[in-house]
Amino acid sequence: MSASSPDSRPPSIGRRTLLGAAAVATPAVLGVATPAAAAPSPAASASARKKPRALPGGGDLGPNVIVFDPSTPGIQARLDQVFRQQESAQFGTGRYALLFKPGTYNGLNAQLGFYTSIAGLGLSPDDTTINGDVTVDAGWFNGNATQNFWRSAENLALVPANGTNRWAVAQAAPFRRMHVRGGLNLSPDGYGWASGGYIADSRIDGQVGPYSQQQWYTRDSAIGSWINGVWNMVFSGVEGAPAQSFPNPPYTTLGTTPISREKPFLYLQGNDYRVFLPEKRTNARGVTWGNGTPRGTSLPLSQFYVARPGVSAATLNQALAEGLHLLLTPGIYHLDRPIQVNRAGTVVLGLGYATLIPDGGVTAVQVADVDGVRLAGFLVDAGPVNSATLLEIGPRGASRDHSANPTTVQDVFVRIGGAGAGKATTSMVINSRHTIVDHTWVWRADHGEGVGWETNRADYGVVVNGDDVLATGLFVEHFNKYDVQWNGQRGRTIFFQNEKAYDAPNQGAIQNGSIKGYAAYKVGDGVTTHEGWGLGSYCYYNVNPSIVQHHGFAAPVRSGVRFHNLLVVSLGGQGQYECVINDTGSPTSGTSTVPSTVVSYP
């Protein structure tokens, strides 16, 4: 396949080596009370000694946040050093954030490896211009981009050296608030396999070429043009997007995104760090920063507890209880109890793929049923002792109306196994109403360490119990039972990408009562209103290719439960689907790796 004559047909898959295919917060408490003039009693003194000292806000961002300005010497050498370390460290412990102060940088090529984030520190992407490239390619994996996970680019303007920037990524690799003054190539050098991806709040002046990318979601952006599609290309609120045409070409195009609120981001005001909190938009279209300063509010870094790896969960919870937000600097955090987010408007922002590991079977993060919490930019890695849940948004039974100020979960990724032993019955549970899940990859590992049908057992990926929840960019893969189980009313999903678990040993292991296999996306029997656009499920039963999956999607047959542009694919004939949704849709067959589609259901 050549750039001059792109082929819209899917590449030959074979083993598809994916083995991986705005409330302003309460001011921070910065000191301790002045002692009373009278001498305290011994009992009072003992009590005072036990009371933890108030934690400071702000502070240094730590050694793995590397900050450049245009006068910094040796920028390219430092970028290359980080890349050499991270290029193939898929399950390593290194975590890095590369931050560029506003200004112009010339002649750079920032190649990004695993757990590396690059970002500008202006209020607008155009405040920080790189005359050069931010590159993701797949040389480390023989030209196969299907494992280019866990890296990100945000808030930069790029003027690519040859006119087109290469961003050949797979899951958990967001491209946010970027301005590419040229084209964007989403495939690896040589047009090998690729399976991404996500763009939001970005402007690409030239052409976007997905080439071999099997699926992609672009939200609230502006593009010059889009050249081809393989299986599942979804657009919402994108100026310049191709017209609706699924399944040939496979474009699902919504003129607007119903509700969106962009991810919080770190920036500089003078010499002071602040965190910008973009405002909520309804029926959104195009970028938030097109007229300069985006709309929203901001918080000084002094209102954040700047956490370093090694800090305890008790200290993180103390900071939250004192009214501070959390900024998680790059690294790995072990938790012996959940991080409890109980205050409305709390921000928990990770840098450089900060990673939370719950020990002893605890939940990593629990959010109360309150308004406007923002969780963004971190990875939750299951521990070796089974956790009932890893991330909980709202307690069971949560019912408050958060429509005016929803909780957002953005670039929060979940992994069970791969880096080591891990188990979790349910990865992410959404109980609070009106929650927006904007780009997540919830992954039961199919390669790496600690992998096996029972070794990294994880029955459910995402369970939605809350009403009025919106998912934009939902990637959930390889769970032992339902990948997504949606029980709440009036739920909506724009773009869903799924692979069923590769490693089922036999047909009986996936049997769901009288049904062959658990659907990738199951809408609860009691749901009366639900809608989804651009949803795909793939099977690759490589341990036992004779396994048959009845359908990818299951839902009650009601006029209020509607789906648009569904597909299922058997990758190289390793297992087959009998239907697409319920009992509707043609079966997959043979080894041709051709999708079976349903344009509208019911």
- Which residues are catalytic, by number? 499
Alpha carbon separation from 161 to 49, 154, 189 (Å, rounded):
61, 19, 16
CA distance 58 to 517: 50
Locus of tokens 């099997």: 214
Query: Would you state the torsion angle of the CA atoms of residues 233, 238, 241, 247, taken in this order, to the nearest 10 degrees?
Result: 30
Q: Do the strands 232-236 and 215-219 form a parallel or antiparallel pair, or are they unpaired?
A: parallel
Q: How far apart are CA 318 and CA 339, in angstroms?
A: 10
Q: Which two tokens stand for residue 371?
A: 């308004």
Q: Which are the contacts of 453, defined by CB distance < 8 A and separation ≥ 6?
A: 480, 501, 503, 504, 505, 509, 543
Report the SS3 class of residue 289: coil
In sequence order, the 6+-apart residues with CB closer than 8 A to the CB of 26 are: 323, 343
471 with 434: CB under 8 angstroms? no
Sign of CA dihedral 46, 49, 52, 53: positive
User: How far from 75 is each of 68, 82, 98, 105, CA to CA, in Å?
Assistant: 7, 11, 10, 9
Q: Which amino acid type is present at position 287?
A: V
> Between the CA atoms of 34, 37, 38 and 40, what dihedral angle is there, to the nearest 10 degrees?
20
Would the CA dihedral through 240, 246, 250, 254 be positive or negative? positive
How many Å apart are CA 103 and CA 67, to the nearest integer?
13
Residue 194 CA to residue 497 CA, distance in Å, equals 13
Q: Are 431 and 453 in contact (CB under 8 A)?
A: no
DSSP 435-484: -EEEEEEEEE-SSSBS-STTTT---EEEEE-STT-EEEEEEEE--SS-SE
